Amino acid sequence: MSEHEKVIWYEGMNLEPHHFQQWDRFHQHQLHSRVRSLSLYDWGFAELSIDRDAVTGGQFKLQRCRGITPDGLGFDLPEEAPLPPARDFREAFSATRSKLDIYLALPAEHSRGQNCTLNGNQAHRETRYRMEEVPRVDDNTGMDERSIGVGYPNFRLLLEEESREHYTGLKIAEITRTPDGNFAVSSEYVPPSLYLDVAAPLINAVRNILGLLVARSNTLMASRRYQATGQLEIGASDIARFWLLHTVNGFIPLLNHHITVGKYHPVQVFSTLLMLAGQLTTFSTNGQTSLTELPAYDHHHPLACFSRLQEYIKGCLGEVVPRTNYVKISLDRRGETAFMGKIDDATLLQDADFYLMATHELPEQQVAESLPRTIRIASPEVINEVLGAATTALPLEYTPRPPAGIPHKPGVQYFHLKKEGYFWETICTSKALVIYLPGGRFPGLQLELIAVRPG
């Protein structure tokens, strides 16, 4: 039979402490029921700080913790109640032991009373509260100070072997032995948390996924092609790429918001990651993992499920990102008029087509006509010979439309390097080329060199 019934107040009744105690039980039960109906995982830590220096020396000591116990009691230590005494765990840590669990425990509430130790009384067992007299003034007048008895939750720290049969509480940490013989808080355990930012490993997992998404988005965005009017050019072969870009870009601001705010319940963030994993599976070629086999959220051990899901998403992103068919050749500026690029991959020199991408402030027609006549491209060994003889060196040809698969951006012109003759042979031999431009001819000019693989 429940002991959370509503008190019936009526005129002429005799008031006893029992009435107000029952009144408390009723309203606490109503509040707990309402909150539990909205969130199954309404318990855990909202803030947690452990004295790690004390742990190194064999003592577990809390500096601050705030949260809600599994039976619904909110706590804020030491702001609203004293911290539990520190525990020396060295004797419990045998030489062969690998880890030791630590619990923040509170005596469970008993339906038959004896839930508070009154001043000067000795309880027969651990009680949920202990009473202390505190001074309080009248809220209206700020005067008329009186001493009233208040109950502080009687928290304590329990070691793994100690009985928790008549307690409610939270596993707070795992202690491990370090290679040098000291002790440390294990980074492989995350306690139940109410907010993402309570647990650094969880928020780091989300941050890593966000970094992968941003990198994939940048790759996909760079491969977009534009028409001369500046509008996006989308062909049949681009549909899957844009669909993937739509998926990736849709989750970047959401995950960034979760990380920036931090005050999201881990189950909310985990649900977002599950949705991301499901959508990425659309593009994955790995059919071995069923979507129904993705991990479920585990409030007792959140790090394990977050880690499994992170690895799955990482694997999907590695599979689904379309490989680009071009390689960007880094150009290092040499003085005011020259750039040098190294081509270490011999297969590029043999199989790829090379394009120079030019961004500038001049009319396009002027650059298309004058750049091939003005620029000089040769290997580092013969560039001085080219400049001295006033030869054009490696031929360069303007290309109005670059081949499919490479970036096509408004305001960028493309020039094809012709792989022929003596100058190309010397470039292949040295696996490097120098691009020379007379100073002042093309103000604001920026150059990029890409090698496009066949197919």
Domain ranges of the chain: 39-186, 198-320, 326-452
Query: Of 126-135, 253-262, 307-316, which range is least confident?
Result: 126-135
pLDDT at 63 over 90: yes
Cβ atoms of 133 and 152 closer than 8 Å? no
Q: Which of 10-14, 31-35, 218-222, 272-276 has the highest mean pLDDT?
A: 272-276
Cβ atoms of 266 and 199 closer than 8 Å? yes
pLDDT at 359 over 80: yes
Tell me the average pLDDT of the chain: 86
Task: Give 239 or 69, the one with higher predicted confidence.
Answer: 69
How many Å apart are CA 269 and CA 277, to the nearest integer?
12
Burial (CB count within 10 angstroms: exposed 0-12, middle 13-18, buried 19+), residue 402: buried
Confidence (pTM): 0.70
Q: Mark out the alpha helices in 96-199 (DSSP H runs).
A: none
pLDDT at 323 over 70: no
Structure tokens at 29: 């039960």
Beta strands in 154-262 (DSSP E): 156-159, 167-177, 183-185, 225-226, 232-233
Q: What is the pLDDT of residue 277?
A: 94
The pLDDT of 83-93, averaged and rounded, is 93
Cβ atoms of 423 and 379 closer than 8 Å? yes
- pLDDT per residue as tens digits for the range 390-409: 677 899 999 887 776 676 66
CA dihedral 160→164→167→170, nearest 10 degrees, is 30
Cβ atoms of 164 and 144 closer than 8 Å? no
pLDDT at 358 over 90: no
The pLDDT of 122-127, averaged and rounded, is 73
Structure tokens at 18: 């029992």
Q: Are strands 432-436 and 412-417 parallel, antiparallel or unpaired?
A: unpaired
96 pLDDT tier (thresholds 50, 70, 90): confident
Q: How many CA atoms lie within 13 A of 206 on its CB side?
A: 30
Helix (H) or strand (E) holding 17: helix 17-38
Q: What is the pLDDT of residue 326?
A: 81
How many Å apart are CA 265 and CA 263, to the nearest integer?
7
Q: What is the pLDDT of residue 213?
A: 94
Which amino acid is present at 77? L
The pLDDT of 355-380, averaged and rounded, is 85
Which amino acid is present at 53? D
- Closest to 278 measured CA to CA, from 266, 295, 303, 299: 295
Task: Give 320 or 299, the one with higher predicted confidence.
Answer: 299
- pLDDT per residue as tens digits for the range 279-317: 998 887 665 567 888 999 999 999 999 999 999 999 888
How many Å apart are CA 328 and CA 196, to the nearest integer?
39
Query: Of 47-56, 226-235, 241-250, 402-411, which range is least confident?
Result: 226-235
The neighbouring-strand residues paired with 246 are none
